[in-house]
Amino acid sequence: MDLGNDRLEEAWRRVRGTDCALLDRAAARSRIADTRLIESYLAARQAAFTTVAEHPAPPPPLDLDVSSPDEPASAAENPAPGPALPPESSRDADRRRLRSRWLTRCPLFAAALGAGQVSPPLVDVLATTLEHVEQTVVAHVLADEAELVETARIATPDGFRAVLRRRVDLARSDLGVAALERQRKNSKASTFISRDDGMHILNVALDPERGQALFAAIEQRVHQLRNQPTTTPRTHGELRLQAVIDLISGTASVVPEVLVIVDERTIRSGAHPATICETESGVPLPVLDMINLCAVAKVTAAIVDADGKTVEMGCASRTANRHQRRAARAMYRTCCHPGCDTPFTDCELHHVVHWEDGGRTELRNLIPLCFRHHHQIHEPGWNVTIDDRRTLTWHQPDGTIEVAPLRPLLTPPEPSTVDHPPPRRTTRLGQPPPDRAPPRHSDAHAA
């Protein structure tokens, strides 16, 4: 067998000349590596042959000065039939054709496959992931094919699929929000009654964000029902049905607990080409929608490092837990912005030192802000700092600095009016209080 490559030639000789009965475990592993190298080479050759077979060259022009009809044809024109093989399934044929089509489009992947640098399953992942993606998005994903090949060389098929999906999301702009918007528009619910047996049927199709929250709520209600004392055991299917009925009718209220798997770099500095941000079921989720999900669910982030190891677990990663909210409520009746009387129950807990900047979800770093002031603090020029006595210093875009001490709860809150705002100390830019940081520009999506 002439493979045209010294490395392949050596692998082929080792495979053919090895007696399996004489192998030890180390030698067996080495022969497995040899067979994988040969398999990649043959897969690349098979794809090239398939391309020719599926798109044959046009026939040569008609030559009127032909040979005698009795002249035998050459062996190249009528090759000898090969050995009989089992018939190929339609699924295998479709996979072979799909692989061939994408290797024709991705010459660097074809070369890497032929050299044994990537495996056939990785090429199949590339083909199946990009086959139904918009052409403009595919062109963006393959713009740096060499870098993508390097990623494939060190990735598992599942890991490479996750990388491709994230790159597709990024290429679709707004970190995959456009794709999620399409899924939201395609979400629907329908009800009908069967004429045959009178069964009432409910069909619901939801986008990943709302679907994950709903599924989590159903499972949490199932857990509550399972822990209730009962004399009649119920199957899991019966419990799920009762959970759905309870949630729809409003007889039960739960805070859905959603698990999101996200890499450490993304949670700290935002999305990047290799971002991992997906639901427990493996559905990719845009990073911004993961943050929005915190508003409707108890999100547990499983943070993984570059090696895939979990480095942190728990909703304390970003979202304040129930105990922290209760402790904050013990200090604040209202939004902590000077002069705002929005009740605490209508406020969100804001990280004074933003999560993206390394701020932790600890009580000393959390303050309650109403919707308007929470969004205002993320506008350019606005900033707030806090000291050990929970005195807040507000920096405004026009240079105004307002100092607001913590108001004791034993003293009734002063009424907030336009003409008589609560007392506060104000200075101008150029006269900041000692040890105060200057205003900084903040990420508009930070929490």
Q: Which of 402, 397, 393, 408 is nearest to 423 (CA)?
A: 402
Q: Is residue 145 part of a domain?
A: yes
CA pair distance 387, 394, nearest whole angstrom: 12
Q: Is residue 356 part of a domain?
A: yes
Q: Which residue has the higher pLDDT, 392 or 12?
A: 392
Instruction: Tell me if residue 261 falls in helix, strand or coil.
Output: strand
CA pair distance 385, 394, nearest whole angstrom: 7
Q: Is residue 434 part of a domain?
A: no
Q: Which of 208, 205, 200 is nearest to 165 (CA)?
A: 208
Task: Tell me how many domains the chain contains.
Answer: 3
318: pLDDT strictly greater than 70:
no
* C-beta neighbour count of 175 within 10 angstroms: 21
Contact 281, 214 (CB under 8 A): no
Q: Are residues 158 and 252 in the same domain?
A: no
Q: Is residue 364 part of a domain?
A: yes
pLDDT band per the 50, 70, 90 thresholds, residue 308:
low
Give residue 145's domain range: 6-54+92-172
Query: Does the model's pTM come out above 0.85?
Result: no
Q: Are residues 12 and 158 in the same domain?
A: yes
Q: Which of 73-77, 125-129, 384-388 has the lowest mean pLDDT?
A: 73-77
For residue 136, the model assigns a pLDDT of 75
| CA separation, residue 439 to residues 155, 340, 420 (Å) | 43, 21, 27
Q: Are residues 18 and 151 in the same domain?
A: yes
Q: Are residues 132 and 22 in the same domain?
A: yes
Q: Is residue 317 part of a domain?
A: no
Mean pLDDT of the chain: 74
